[in-house]
Chain A
């Protein structure tokens, strides 16, 4: 079979919410942790506000695949209302994981997957991460994802600061760290 340690991740967000940015920062963070990564958007035009997806692959060796991800191991949902609009569980592997931006409840039902919740919207609002009225949740979700993937949060924080620059980066790194601490398995 294909490389065994390969982890495939799908991000669900809305156009402009930073799902692609999160996937890109994840690759940089993974490199710091000694992993090879690959991040890509859905191949096509995107519109602000519309449901969008982005993808990432992580592995201990070079990822050779360039085809789309159809059966992710992990799904990250940036907007708690998205599951009403799109099937975020589509193709999710048995035993897979969902990381969702949600205060306490979620509408994902029960199945052969575990759900991790973090209130990324609250974290963003607390830290003043708001742009054009939108809470910026992508870096918080990245922190929560790091916890679920067992990635060192220090690497994620460093990658965020490198990507966004010191001023924007440091507050986003704080958001990631808080989400890393606060994310919990939903019963």
Chain B
């Protein structure tokens, strides 16, 4: 297969994926560092390379409302935002999931104020974790492009019928240029079937949606169904990864990806762009004789509980790196991990390292040094003393 490589920032990779997915309606409000996604899409539409309508709105709340309306009426629709924009959109995020309308949204992860800050952490993205959306992270720009296309397919699968959001780190991916293979339009067309959704608003065929339930039990069942569909999405995600791999040769493991895990005793767990630095840290620690592996959380909703348990059972310890924190408790990835591992009887000591908050740079050296001290503590004392550590370089 011939590769068609362009040199794209993460944001342009999103725009290319949206174009290749034949999205018909895009609505967004500008916010750094998301803006260049929609700028690039506007260029595509203006130059006739893409057949879509761009709807300008006065806020992110209206942007998602517009996209929701367009998607409800039967077309593929897309929006993107960051940080405060996502906060402003929050009501519609819930509504879109409850109404079971497939939509794809890119979140260029950015710190939430105060104080004002445009650098990456995952606070904005992780604060959406109870909404009912599919939620995934990308590690590099090729994965950004591939995953946006995959997310349309997963979101519109009748076993799922839920909106999905993808996180790409502010600047670290959004403004970083990397070689990206652009799949052929015919390949994407064969992978993405025509639009599917549970119901469609059409003029001349009126229906009503989202009205007060006559019985709250029905409403509870609807919420249960959102949950069940997210759990059912695990199978769809795995299938989709496999099919994409057949078409392009690129697999990301579906829900999680393991690196050097087969003989590992200790695990590094993380999500997002810094997973690349974690890979380097694993190589470095391996060369020093540490039996370390990496588990990349590609999806966080659905949460890959059984998949983690299967890899980690019999391990001696793990560190979950969180780039956000549920203040007053711990990092959200850690909380999910320990809750499920505990329930699944995987008795592995797990430490939480909260790092990279507000855009603080974290390198493979930082990661390796944290892992080294953790392993030495477990080996010498058998316990984790400071199980939620804030790491300041």
Which of A's residues lie within 8 Å of B, judged by CB? 1-3, 23-24, 27-28, 31, 36-41, 43-45, 62-68, 70
Contact = CB atoms under 8 A, between A and B. Distances in A.
Given A27-B178, A64-B277, A66-B274, A45 B172 contact: no
Given A2-B283, A66-B277, A68-B361, A43 B177 contact: no
B316 interface: no
Given A2-B364, A43-B170, A44-B119, A66 B7 contact: no
Interface string B167-210: 00111110111110000000000000000000000000000000
A67 B283 contact: no
Nearest to B33: A43
B257 to A, nearest CB: 13
Contact of B175 (A31, A40, A70): A40
A46 to B, nearest CB: 11
A59 to B, nearest CB: 12
B359 interface: yes
A3 B283 CA distance: 9
10 contacts: A24-B177, A39-B7, A41-B175, A62-B140, A63-B178, A65-B280, A65-B364, A67-B363, A68-B361, A70-B363
Given A1-B284, A27-B7, A38 B176 contact: yes
Interface in B252-277: 273-274, 276-277
B276 A40 contact: no
Interface in B5-47: 5, 7, 32
**Taking each of B178, B284, B287, which has the highest tally of chain A beta carbons within 10 Å of its own beta carbon?**
B178
A27 B173 CA distance: 15
A64 B276 contact: yes
B284 A66 contact: no
A67 B364 contact: yes
Nearest to B176: A40
A63 B277 CA distance: 10
A66 B173 contact: yes
Contacts of A38: 176-178
B348 interface: no
Interface residues on B, range: 20 to 34
B177 A23 contact: yes
Contact of B287 (A1, A24, A62, A70): A1
B118 interface: yes
Given A66-B277, A67-B361, A31 B179 contact: yes
A65 B275 CA distance: 8
A186 to B, nearest CB: 30
Nearest to A1: B284
Nearest to A6: B280
A18 B264 CA distance: 46
Given A3-B280, A23-B177, A63-B178, 4 more contacts: A39-B176, A66-B273, A66-B274, A67-B364
Contacts of B284: 1-2
A64 B170 CA distance: 17
B364 A27 contact: no
Contacts of B169: 66
B7 A43 contact: no
A27 B169 CA distance: 20
B200 to A, nearest CB: 41
A65 B173 CA distance: 11
A169 to B, nearest CB: 15
A41 B171 CA distance: 8
A159 B167 CA distance: 30
Contacts of B276: 63-66
A67 to B, nearest CB: 4
B171 A2 contact: no
A63 B179 CA distance: 10
Contacts of B7: 24, 27-28, 31, 37, 39
Nearest to B276: A64
Interface string B351-375: 0000000010111100000000000
Given A1-B287, A44-B119, A66-B274, A27 B179 contact: yes
A28 B7 CA distance: 6
A107 B279 CA distance: 40
Contacts of B363: 65, 67-68, 70
A151 to B, nearest CB: 15
A54 B176 CA distance: 10
B115 to A, nearest CB: 14
Contacts of A39: 7, 176-177
Interface string B222-252: 0000000000000000000000000000000
Contacts of A43: 119-120, 170-172, 175, 359
